[in-house]
Structure 1
């Protein structure tokens, strides 16, 4: 069996993060500790994929961003681009590099998270696109490697999260529809096992409860954060029920809202005269939509910046755990009418 970094850390009497920093040339590791780690690795037969001279070199942190499900995204939301821009902005200001890696659920089964990081000489990572049933998600709790997750909250040493307050934002968006006298609402959800979707959906249910209303199961469509899936499901619904059942669509992403807008129009209806609609994310593409979409805006560029900053902190102190919330705001458009 392959020896893990965790076993090396245990034998050397240090944390996994300390082993990682030692193999990546950090200057805050004493020569005695480095020697003990190297000796422990030799005795166990552990060989990291890192040049031997880096053990004594004073190098900048080598950090990575691992994107899961990159091929599943159509790119219209510009999420990964905006996130990368924010990350790069921080790394440029602080003189270290970050490398992009892509994976998916299948590859995660083949190669554990800590092994992936060590083979690529990574001291810590930013993880985006991970879902709650992904192998990496379950490994992170006890992995010991510094990590920042986008939109997923996990408690543990060396773990951090950057997001907006999705629960508060989704509740505010739902209340906005209630304040415009909408009660018959269709919820358009994303991927069932995505943490951000779980949080937003739970908040919508809570908002209904606080208004003495009930969101019935047949008023929830899961559309995988996919425009085409939303288009097909809503088109089928409108052809069957027309305007007889609902007055508004509450979409938990702007991408799905775009699909719903197409479905409404292709079925011969108008926005907001026949149906009101709200989105979530505030993506640039929605600035070209008529009427202007009411949505929750989240600053993805700033989320990227804060994730790089937080990862830097975690790598330097892998005993800490921290969540960072980036401010959001509700952008009012013309896609909701008052009943």
Structure 2
């Protein structure tokens, strides 16, 4: 009896490609599909009854690819919230979703197109990508539907789900100034992250809004690392006490938590002696008193909208586009 492996061998393609071609998946080139169909016919290949049953219950196989997962990364909680959003969309739908951790090194070794073929993926959601990552360049030219979370994707099949980081960080910085703090310390993320550049632009806009001079601003480069933020904030306060910047405007909530810890470890009062603001809206802030002001990005909605848009693109029901999810300023105490 002729098997699907025989067809794949004769056609010079993978078994998954044969399966997708014979089940009329639209991510297989028409020329390849016809070649496989002709070979299957000439060999007398007949799909098993179980294979027919599976094809009649066709699933959209999609995945979320996440770069930068780690114990020190806010992506850990983001992943959970994104998955909640993804799951809320696919409930009741005939879909399969997988999650893979990726890195810049892995991207350099295996192209996105090869990765998708290997796992028979119809499309992908990508999160945590850094500026300069290989997949960002490949996506410009791919035919695979891709949706980026918190990263702008280019190309005819590239879509994005974003926060307006410029305006959001402008809002949180203006909040700090309105609380009466005119000497600011920016606790900055890593420059290879697109959100760092956008949030810095928002910070500069807020300085202009309030006529704050560069002389009244200091910058601590902390690379979204909690322990580095703790070390740098503590050293800054030990050096200057309350003579210089007294409001630490942080580009992430985890760095804000670190700044608050440094302030309290040095015997100062959070909210009275120094102000700290965050950015992300993670649950951990609920356990810090007084409450730290932050920006809630609504990662659950980002996950939901990301999956909804990806499936619509796969089904040719929507064109790839950029969607901005509304942020919310959560005031401190």
How far 1:289 sits from its partner (Å)? 0.4
Tell me the distance in 2 between the aligned counterparts of 1:21 and 1:305: 32
2:105 matched to which residue of 1?
106
1:23 matched to which residue of 2?
20
How far 1:270 sits from its partner (Å)? 1.1
Tell me the distance in 2 between the aligned counterparts of 1:76 and 1:291: 25
Query: SS of the residue aligned with 1:71?
Result: coil
Which range moves more in the overlay, 132-141 or 316-325?
316-325
How many equivalent pairs are there?
A: 305
2:123 matched to which residue of 1?
124
1:285 matched to which residue of 2?
284
1:153 matched to which residue of 2?
152
Q: Deviations over 1:42-69 (max 9, x none)?
A: 9xxxxxxxxx998993522100100112
- In 2 relative to 1, CA 74–173 (structure 1 residues): closer, same or farther, beyond 3 Å? closer
Query: SS of the residue aligned with 1:255?
Result: helix
How far 1:178 sits from its partner (Å)? 2.1
- In 2 relative to 1, CA 261–318 (structure 1 residues): closer, same or farther, beyond 3 Å? same
Q: Work out whether 1:236 is the aligned partner of 2:235.
A: yes
1:323 matched to which residue of 2?
322
Tell me the distance in 1 between the aligned counterparts of 2:19 and 2:139: 21
Contact kept in structure 2, 1:83 and 1:304, CA below 8 Å:
yes
Contact kept in structure 1, 2:163 and 2:326, CA below 8 Å:
yes
Q: Work out whether 1:37 is the aligned partner of 2:35.
A: no
How far 1:37 sits from its partner (Å)? 2.6
Tell me the distance in 1 between the aligned counterparts of 2:238 and 2:222: 18
- In 2 relative to 1, CA 75–211 (structure 1 residues): closer, same or farther, beyond 3 Å? closer
TM-score (structure 2 length as normaliser): 0.83
Q: Work out whether 1:141 is the aligned partner of 2:140.
A: yes
- In 2 relative to 1, CA 173–74 (structure 1 residues): closer, same or farther, beyond 3 Å? closer
Tell me the distance in 2 between the aligned counterparts of 1:165 and 1:294: 18
1:57 matched to which residue of 2?
55
2:299 matched to which residue of 1?
300
Which range moves more in the overlay, 248-257 or 152-161?
152-161
Contact kept in structure 1, 2:151 and 2:160, CA below 8 Å:
yes
TM-score (structure 1 length as normaliser): 0.81
Query: SS of the residue aligned with 1:160?
Result: strand
Residues 52-91 of structure 1: pairs in structure 2 closer than 5 A? 57-58=55-56, 59-71=58-70, 73-74=72-73, 78-91=77-90
Q: Deviations over 1:131-183 (max 9, x none)?
A: 11211122211222110101112332111111222221111111112222322
Tell me the distance in 1 between the aligned counterparts of 2:18 and 2:152: 24
- In 2 relative to 1, CA 24–279 (structure 1 residues): closer, same or farther, beyond 3 Å? farther
How far 1:320 sits from its partner (Å)? 2.2
Moved over 6 A (4+): 52-56
2:11 matched to which residue of 1?
none
Tell me the distance in 2 between the aligned counterparts of 1:321 and 1:164: 17
Contact kept in structure 2, 1:77 and 1:283, CA below 8 Å:
no
Unaligned stretches of 5+ in structure 1? 1-19, 43-51, 335-339
The alignment yields a C-alpha RMSD, in angstroms, of 3.0
The structure with higher relative contact order (CA 8 Å, sep 6+) is 1
Contact kept in structure 2, 1:67 and 1:128, CA below 8 Å:
yes
- In 2 relative to 1, CA 87–241 (structure 1 residues): closer, same or farther, beyond 3 Å? same
- In 2 relative to 1, CA 304–215 (structure 1 residues): closer, same or farther, beyond 3 Å? farther
Query: SS of the residue aligned with 1:143?
Result: coil
Query: SS of the residue aligned with 1:183?
Result: coil
- In 2 relative to 1, CA 332–21 (structure 1 residues): closer, same or farther, beyond 3 Å? farther
Tell me the distance in 2 between the aligned counterparts of 1:81 and 1:109: 27
Unaligned stretches of 5+ in structure 2? 1-16, 38-46
- In 2 relative to 1, CA 77–99 (structure 1 residues): closer, same or farther, beyond 3 Å? closer
How far 1:112 sits from its partner (Å)? 1.1
